[in-house]
Amino acid sequence: MNQVRWLRSSFVNIVDNTLFAGSSDEEGSDSGDHSDDREEPKFIDLDRQDMQVRFDVGPEKLLKTSIARLPVTEKGQVAHLSPLEETIHDGDFEAFIQIAGLATKLPKPVALTDLASEEVFLRKDRAKLLDEYIRRTGKGIDIPQKKKKGTEDEPEGPKGKEYWGLNVRGKKRRDLASKGDPNARYNNGSKIPLVWDAARLGALDILGYLSTDRPLAAYQHYLSANPKEAREADLPTLESSISELLGWSANPSNGTVLSAAARDGKLDSFKKSLELNPTLLEPYLHKKYPARIF
């Protein structure tokens, strides 16, 4: 106890290492005679000192670095996450906003797509954070682009031996040859639709979010903040086809989010998707298949 009292009553000047006693009685001197002679301790502002040891580590590298997170996952694996992914893992919306804002205000701005992907949001089922991510990046779907003359959208004509599709009523229907269904315009690529990924990973809250008008509002907000991309975007098509772009309709192979959920054994996702969109069964109930003779 005496040592604690002594530490509380004394402090050390970090400049000249002079020990100042807090109690004049312990020094055996008269405090009344020397109280005016004491000098105020001088402190050094380390931020203004010319340090000899320096590290060439910019803030962008710190944001991109993935560190091990403890405790480990249920399967005994250590999760390696970036600071932004850490906020998604914890569901910390305020920290997500702060780090996302910091990344864009650096001397060399860092894109959020370099710090986290849509799959991180889906695995932790963070609908609110995914909405903010879309508003800032516009990722998750391929935003329809305006057609330009002389490009692949409106070709001037076939050249050489190039195949331009089926000849239907005197017109080349390349869309029929490549897609199988003229109504399935967007979800025929190799990229898995966002809704299907959510069902595959069991992200029920995100499935509910994707069934509302909030995703469209998020993409519209992104385009409003990025005029250059907005000039190239086909806004009417985006508004009319947002459900298809997200993956709520069948693809040319007659696959839906229900088949994606069933393939990965996600019964909860299957029930949730059917609850949100009861018409998903129509491609199976009303599809006509040719008769086969075995």
132-170 per-position pLDDT tens digit: 999 999 999 999 998 876 555 444 444 444 445 555 555
134, amino acid identity:
I
* 63, 99 contact by CB (below 8 A): yes
pTM over 0.75: no
Give CA–CA dist 202/195, Å, rounded: 11
Higher pLDDT, 19 or 202: 202
**Range of lowest pLDDT (93-97, 104-108, 124-128, 211-215):** 104-108
The mean of the pLDDT values for the chain is 76
Amino acid 108: pLDDT: 86
| CA-to-CA separations, 252 to 63, 71, 141, 181, 185, in angstroms, rounded | 41, 44, 18, 6, 9
- Most confident region among 4-8, 44-48, 202-206 by mean pLDDT: 202-206
Alpha-carbon torsion angle 97, 103, 107, 110, nearest 10: -150
pLDDT at 122: 95
Rg of the chain, C-alpha, whole Å = 32
Confidence check: pLDDT of 257 > 80? yes
The Cα 159–Cα 157 span in angstroms is 7
250 with 180: CB under 8 angstroms? no
* 263, pLDDT greater than 70: yes
Torsion of CA 214, 215, 220, 225, to 10 degrees: 100
Read off the pLDDT of each residue in 16-43 and give the average, rounded to a whole number.
Answer: 56
Mean pLDDT of 199-215: 96
Give residue 250's region: left, alpha or beta (phi > 0; psi -120 to 50).
beta
> How is the chain split into domains, by residue range?
60-116, 126-144+190-284, 145-185
Per-residue pLDDT, 292: 52
* pLDDT tens track for 98-133: 999 999 998 889 999 999 988 999 999 999 999 999
Distances (CA, A) of 123 to 8, 20, 88, 91, 204: 51, 58, 10, 12, 10
